Structure 1
Amino acid sequence: MNLDYVVVGVVSLLALAMHVVLFVLVRRWMDRDLALSMAGDDPVRRAWMLERLAQAKREGVRRRDLQAWLERAAAEAPAGGQGV
């Protein structure tokens, strides 16, 4: 009977760990998509915006401030080669 509790506990902990990992991955994907959506189709701007996203993470920009921070960065983005 005691083994049943151990199995339930282990499975519950694994399920919680899986949910935490999925939560973190989805947040990263959302942040990356936000940065790329501001860059458009230009590969130069996309690379530049991904670097700005990494910079925001290094500087510790809070998630609720990230969109405004990226919008300011997008306004300073270099012009790419496709907009001729």
Structure 2
Amino acid sequence: MDYFIIIATTAAGLYFHWWLYVRIKRWMDRDLALSLAGPDEQKKAFMLQQLANAHQQKVKRRDLPQWLAAAATGYPGA
């Protein structure tokens, strides 16, 4: 019974840390997209859509800042 408790709590802890890591990565990506948009609400919506497009196109995380910066320069309202 002791082994079950150890295994269950270890698995729960590992899952929680993985979940937290994924959430922090998502928050960082979202924050990057919003910081490139500035105070313009329409550009913020545009950049969040571009972030979704980047995820659909499976843009690698290391390439994401350059990809979003290029998308920001292509904003039609500029």
TM range (shorter): over 0.9
* Higher RCO (C-alpha under 8 Å, 6+ residues apart): 1
In structure 2, the partner of 1:78 is 76
- Between the aligned partners of 1:72 and 1:36, the Cα distance in structure 2 is 14
Q: Could you tell me the percent identity over the aligned residues?
A: 45
Can you give the 5+ residue segments of structure 2 that lack an aligned partner in the other structure? Answer: none
Q: Cα RMSD (Å) of the superposition? A: 0.9
Q: Deviations over 1:31-54 (max 9, x none)?
A: 000000000010000000000000
Can you give the 5+ residue segments of structure 1 that lack an aligned partner in the other structure? Answer: none
Higher gyration radius (CA): 1
- Between the aligned partners of 2:68 and 2:53, the Cα distance in structure 1 is 10
What TM-score, normalized to structure 1? 0.90
Out of 29, 34, 37, the residue aligned to residue 36 of structure 1 is 34
**Number of residue-to-residue matches in the alignment:** 78
Q: Following TM superposition, where does structure 1 have runs of at least 4 consecutive aligned residues deviating by more than 2 angstroms?
A: none
Q: Which deviates more, 70-79 or 19-28?
A: 70-79
- Between the aligned partners of 1:18 and 1:57, the Cα distance in structure 2 is 23
What aligned pairs does 1:45-84 form with structure 2 within 5 A after superposition?
Answer: 45-79=43-77
In structure 2, the partner of 1:21 is 19
Deviation, structure 1 residue 79: 2.2
What TM-score, normalized to structure 2? 0.97
- Between the aligned partners of 1:78 and 1:23, the Cα distance in structure 2 is 34
- Between the aligned partners of 2:40 and 2:76, the Cα distance in structure 1 is 10
